[in-house]
Structure 1
Amino acid sequence: MKKTILALIAFSALSMQAQSGKSKNMEQSPKQKIVVYQVFTRLFGNKNTVNKPWGTIKENGVGKFSDFTDKALTEIKHLGVNYIWYTGVPHHALVNDYTKYGISNDDPDVVKGRAGSPYAVKDYYNVNPDLATNPAKRLEEFEALIKRTHKNGLKVIIDIVPNHIARHYEGKNNPKGVRDFGADDNKEVGYDKNNNFYYIPGHAFEVPTSDSYKPLGGEQHAGLDGKFNENPAKWTGNGSRAVKPDINDWYETVKINYGIRPDGLKEFPQLPYGFDKQGYEAHYEFWKEHEKEVPSSWKKFRDIALYWTAKGVDGFRYDMAEMVPVEFWSYMNSAIKMKNPDAFLLAEIYNPNEYRNYINIGKMDYLYDKVDLYDKLKEVIQGKSNPDGISDIQTRFADIEHNLLHFLENHDEQRIASPEFAGNAHKAKPMAVLSATISSSPMMIYFGQEVGEPGKQDAGFGKPSRTSIFDYIGVPNHQRWMNDGKFDGAKLNKEEKALREFYQRLLNFSLDAPALLGEFRQLQQANRQNPNYPQEVYAFARFDDKQKLVIVCNFSNTKSSFFELKIPSDVIKDMKLEDGTYVIKDQLYGKSTIKLNIANGEGKIGITIAPSESFIYQINQ
């Protein structure tokens, strides 16, 4: 009783604190833009250029933690980056023999590709042995990388995948007292609140088959027999309840049970009404009071996150976060924030109707802005629509604009330079300018994007347009920048160098521009009344008391345009500008200096813009 009373007192105090706007978790104006550099860790340092489909680690090579030298990290930092997301660090299933290091072999029948999916994690308390110079010391090598990354002024993000794990999970490095997933499950029933998995009693798992796909490309391999010992069968990672999943299911993984019955009923405590307005401290106190009622899987993943937090990891990217109940995120993220209030917590999520729940209830810092901004920009650059709809996106999400992470590439998406996307990386320049400057949200770059990597390689599992995440492969454009470990870009051609310099200017500007943390005003509506305003142009203003910007992006890759850009009176008033003539200078290239004329409270700028060109004009007062 005393414990309950104390918890209620603490909750009451936190409620008052939240209502007064002083809770640590209440959204505050960011102090600086965040730029995330995503690297696929095993590909980043690979110098091998053989690129044989289904090639072995010896044939095609692999990058190591040690490839992230001080020089490499310094160059990433100088690109205009303050966070680095090391993708594929936790030990996942792969087809390579590490038995002499005490690691069991994985069955290629349930491994995608040869190097394996980074989202089929096999042991959460250690790291991928492929990435270590000495696999026996792989954890120590990653710990050294964390320290080296911090020394070079960057923060570290890694993946956690709470929705599913590898079919052959084997926690050989569990801390004292940690039990493996499924070790205490009642396998006689299909569901139990505290089971880590969902089962199909009385049936053994069957490996999926396909006429069009053969593991390892059809290679003869001792482990390939079309069988995998799993009895009783478990639900597959994407939720398939079939004993024999389809070849397109996530058959290499098994679904984690979070206390949701097969009929959808939740068997765990529900947050009280109004908790979406409470800070993470109140959420933490609530779950501490209800710790005994929390399903086993919740505790296991919380402990995993806190383990890596204690090792210096600064944040996490959560795979397929919306496939896990939002209440779990409240539980885990509040525990992380109590240890590190500045932790960077990013969710892969594709349902805009759930965005606010995962931010306000789940205590996520950031969500993928794919379904809205990314998809719209891709549509625009492919000539399927004009950019006017961007204004509606900004309006609909104005209250959470800071939480929506922008990107043009990541490991799941097509490379910009691939024919399936834009066919030329330079066409994406206006997309990049808009993504980096339209809001206070973070911007993410995928390694190789900044030098126009087209993702042409047929690595084995899956086909080109994306850089493979399943096989050993080299990344040619990136390798030219890497220049055999010198990381000086000496082998880049002229166009690749120019593209990287563009990204470097853009990202560094965004890090230091106070206006990008201030107000946003779209200029499309006022200018669409002018029949000479180009359909492919999008313009907007960003400003605060220190800096005033007008940003213009030409999404046409063929047409130059000259037009008069109107700045309506309400924007001029909010920018606190008086009638007169102002010199405005482009901050992206530093070459274009023109004039803003304000008369009777309305501004006008004469603009000439080339194909795929953008300007970030700063108004000098």
Structure 2
Amino acid sequence: MNDCSKRIWWQVYPLGFCGAPVRPQSDAEREITPRLDRLVNWLDYMKGMGCNGLLLGPIFDSDTHGYDTIDFYRIDPRLGDDMAFDRLVTACHQRGIALMLDGVFNHVGRDFPEFQRELKEAQDEMEAGKSVGHDSDDMFSFSVTQDGTLDYAKFEGHAILPAFNHDAPRVADLVTDVMTYWMRRGVDAWRLDAAMTVPTRFWAKVLPRVRREIPDAWFMGEAIQGDYPQFVRDSTIDTVTQYELWKAIWSSLKDGNFFELDWCLKRHDGFLETFIPQTFIGNHDVTRIASQIQDEGKLALAAVILFTVGGTPSIYYGDERAMLAEKTDGVGGDDKVRPEYPETPEDLSDDGKWMYTLIGRLTSIRSARPWLIDAATEPTLLENRHYAYDVTARDGSAKLHVDLNLDATPHADIYEGVGGAPLLHVEHHT
């Protein structure tokens, strides 16, 4: 089992966290500024709540939000340069923190040089009356629409995000080289953005090549829905984002319907037979769980569930302080869930500190019981507003008992085995 799967991750969207201009309006806003150094100030803070892996959103040169890459080999100047990156890697590894980067390999930004070159070539071909878009080694796919205009493959229809042609050998070569290049420089793992929109045959071709160079490489694929186990088997990816469990946690608590959580945990146990899912209660793409649930007592129970079931858990920055924010549609709709943090933890207000403390207690319980990573969950009591379950090591050698109750005020109890000693009582009064 890869060491990265055993870690507890703190996820950070660096452009927002470090206060970089997400939609720069001038060259001055694109000047090299070592904002990555701010992250170094927070490494002890994340370790203080029991996290030993730092999962970063995009850090490569991009047009705007990081998911529209211009250059995979250059740190975004709004975050710094190679020296700032090296300082962060060194600081992480000195503290025993693993570093995961966000690999956006489904699409790029319109200013990606090869896209611009192929776009011009396709325009020239169209104007000359030649066939467009049939070179098997083109990194992008072009076509002519019925009204005679040039079009290209895009991510979810966004014109600013041209999609790679994943059948092109040059795309496989580029992605392989990018991942190995940064892993040689200290990166431990990759989050593969929009992984399930990429053909599994592409990952099955690229990832073994990376592993031959970096045997301990670990890959987490973003997968919102679909057949997770089949995707893992076909792609050779190590794990996927467990969106089913994310939704079931906040929805069951919000609606007082633990039957939804129980149904999902049964599926989750099935996933654990194939892979270790990456579990979470929030990330950079969704409305914060505190805003979804709107009850701090229930929010505390969400954390209890996250850290007492199998998986590789992560906490999205801000959720450890019970921050509120809603994701909306349109330009800037993600900004509120990707906020700036102050220079140091000492500059952070005490708001939500109770959640940081609770997470620290839960991660202590989990870290002392590494068997929880693939533990099986079995319900012992199931009602709409009251749910209890046993979490048992795969070899049957250890067990926790967890009791969740939404009445009269939301509270939870964790015990060492059935009828064993109480480990933690959780109850937060709003």
With the length of structure 2 as denominator, give the TM-score of the two structures: 0.83
Counterpart in the other structure of 1:342: 216
Map of 1:376 onto structure 2: 248
| Partner of residue 584, structure 1 | 421
Q: Alignment identity in percent?
A: 19
Match of 2:332 in 1: 462
For each residue in 1:430-475, what CA deviation from the matched residue of structure 2 results, as whole angstroms up to 9, or x when unmatched?
Answer: 2222122211x2001111110011126999933479514xxxxx54
2:39 to 46, 68, 71: 68
Decide whether the 8 Å contact of 1:43 with 1:63 is kept in 2. no
Opposite residue 538 of structure 1, the aligned amino acid is A
RMSD: 3.8
Residue 410 and residue 509 in structure 1: after superposition, are their counterparts in 2 closer, same or farther (change >3 A)?
A: same
CA distance in 2, matches of 1:321, 1:398: 20
The Cα of 1:409 is off from its aligned counterpart by: 0.6
Q: Does 1:158 align with 2:101?
A: yes
Deviations 1:365-420 (A, max 9, x none): 110110x21121222022063233234323442413x42111111000111222xx
Instruction: State how 1:81-92 maps to structure 2 within 5 Å.
Output: 81-92=51-62
Alignment partner of 1:443: what SS? strand
Partner of 2:162: 254
Matching of residue 548 in structure 1 with residue 399 in structure 2: yes
Structure 1 letter corresponding to 2:254: Q
Letter aligned with residue 147 of structure 1 = T
Q: 1:536 to 1:193 in 2, by over 3 A?
A: farther
| 1:262 counterpart residue number | none
Q: Which amino acid aligns with 1:367?
A: V
Instruction: Output the TM-score relative to the length of structure 1.
Output: 0.59
Encode CA deviations 1:506-549: one digit per residue, 9 max, x unaligned.
1232122134146424133xx35xxxx66332322324566432
**Structure with greater Cα Rg:** 1
Where in structure 2 are the equivalents of 1:321-340 lying within 5 Å? 321-340=195-214
Question: 1:592 is matched with which residue?
Answer: none
**Equivalent in the alignment of 1:571:** none
In the alignment, what sits opposite 2:140? Answer: 197
Counterpart residue number, 2:50? 80
**Alignment correspondent of 2:79:** 131
Measure the CA separation in 2 of the matches of 1:559 and 1:349. Answer: 35
Provide the rounded CA distance (Å) in 1 between the counterparts of 2:314 and 2:412.
Answer: 32
Q: How do residues 18-57 of structure 1 correspond to structure 2 at under 5 angstroms?
A: 28=1, 33-46=6-19
Between the aligned partners of 2:226 and 2:256, the Cα distance in structure 1 is 22
Structure 2: runs of 5+ lacking an equivalent: 126-131
- Equivalent residue letter for 1:374: W
Q: 1:377 to 1:339 in 2, by over 3 A?
A: same
C-alpha contact (below 8 Å) 2:379/2:387 kept by paired residues: no
**Is the 1:237–1:256 contact (alpha carbons within 8 Å) kept by the matching residues of 2?**
no
Q: In 1, distance between residues paired with 2:410 and 2:379?
A: 20
**Residue type of the alignment partner of 2:401:** V
- Matched residue pairs, number? 414
Q: 1:379 to 1:158 in 2, by over 3 A?
A: same
Residue 246 of structure 2 contacts residue 280 of structure 2 at CA under 8 Å; is this kept in 1?
yes
Residue 318 of structure 1 deviates from its aligned partner by 0.7
The alpha carbon displacement at 1:315 in A equals 1.2
Deviations 1:587-609 (A, max 9, x none): x35xxxxxxxxxxxxxxxxxxx8
Q: What is the DSSP-based 3-state SS (H/G/I as helix, E as strand, rest coil) of the residue aligned with 1:166?
A: coil
Name the aligned partner's letter for residue 455 of structure 1. Answer: A
More displaced 10-residue stretch of structure 1: 184-193 or 161-170: 184-193
Alignment partners' CA distance in 2, 1:341 and 1:183: 35
Report the equivalent of 1:140: 83
CA contact (8 A) 2:36 2:84 kept: yes
Q: Is the 8 A contact 2:10 2:314 kept in 1?
A: yes
- Report deviation, 1:201: 4.5
Unaligned runs of 5+ residues in structure 1 are: 1-27, 94-115, 133-137, 171-179, 207-231, 239-248, 260-293, 469-473, 568-574, 590-608, 614-621
1:365 paired residue among 232, 238, 242 = 238
Q: What CA distance in whole angstroms lies between the structure 2 residues aligned with 1:498 and 1:467?
A: 20
SS of corresponding position for 2:86:
helix
Q: Distance in 2 between matches of 1:391 and 1:549?
A: 16
Q: 1:461 to 1:63 in 2, by over 3 A?
A: farther
Match of 2:346 in 1: 488
Q: The residue matched to 2:337 in structure 1 has which SS?
A: coil
Report the AA paired with residue 82 of structure 1.
N
Q: Residue 128 of structure 2 aligns with which residue?
A: none
